[in-house]
Structure formats: C-alpha cells, structure tokens
Amino acid sequence: MNIEEIYQYCMVKPGVTEDFPFDKNTLVFKVCGKMFALCSLQQWESGEKRINLKCDPQWAIELRATYPEIQPGYHMSKKHWNTVLLNNQGITPEFLKELIDHSYDRVVKGLSKKIQQELLRDF
C-alpha cells in the first residue's frame, strides 16, 4: 500500500481525523482524539515507508518474533506500539489492513461505552 491508500483506508473509519500535532511532517490518525496510527511523510518521500500502529502487547511480541518488518515502536511506547516497515514484500496490503484495524479497535475499546455507541450510531 502507498501512503494515499493508507490515508484513504484510515479516514473512512468512524470518528477518524488526521492531525499534525508534533510537526508538519508527522501525519497522525486519531479516533475521537486518540492516536492509532502515525507516519513520517518525509520518510515516505525519501523511500523509507513505515507506519507506527498500536498493538496488544502480547501480540506485538509475537509479531516482532515472526516478521522482521515489525519492530518495537520508533519513538513510542515499545510495549504498546509497533513500527511496520513497508519497503519490501514481507507485509501484504491485506495484512497491513489487519494491523491498522487492530490498532483502531484497540483505541476504540479504550473509549467510554457512550463514545463507542456514538461511533457506531454515526457510522
């Protein structure tokens, strides 16, 4: 997937907004104000395609052991975030979508029941 495809995939999810809270370069996707994905546009333009995604801590360990393209989150909590390298064919678009969905779902599950219901109602 390229950055435009990732952008479109993330933005159609209920409650998602884009933001640049850190600098003009780091694109952050949030659901109800909480981050679930981020990537450096400058790195993408220079050929370093990567995205940081939230992950269940146990699954994060398993993914890192299985996929060399999945590493502890760069500049993030290593327990809860992975950096997914996308420069080679090790991560398929379908698997990347699964990882994005998992990250989004992790954040939504951490929201109050009221906000979760509002998200579903609005979708």
CATH code of residue 73:
3.90.1150.30
- Tell me what pLDDT residue 123 has: 62
CB 78 within 8 A of CB 54: no
The two three-digit tokens of residue 88, written as one number: 């080679």
Q: What is the mean pLDDT of the chain?
A: 93
Is residue 117 domain-resident?
Answer: no
Record the tokens describing residue 46, joined without a space.
């220079």
Query: Across residues 111-120, what is the average pLDDT?
Result: 88
Angle among Cα 41, 57, 82 to the nearest 5 degrees reads 15
pLDDT at residue 22 tops 80: yes
Average pLDDT over every residue of 89-102 = 95
Provide the number of structural domains found in the chain: 1
Q: Is 122 contained in some domain?
A: no
What percentage of the chain exceeds 90 in pLDDT? 83
Whether residue 114 lies inside any domain: the answer is no
Q: Is residue 44 part of a domain?
A: yes
Query: Would residue 102 count as lying in a domain?
Result: yes
- Note whether residue 43 is domain-resident: yes
pLDDT digits (tens, 9 = 90+) for 41-86: 999 999 999 999 999 999 999 999 999 999 998 888 888 999 999 9
104 burial level (CB within 10 Å; 0-12, 13-18, 19+): buried
90 located within any domain:
yes
Domain range for 60: 3-7+17-109
Q: Which pLDDT score is estimated for 74?
A: 80
* Residue 118 resides in a domain: no
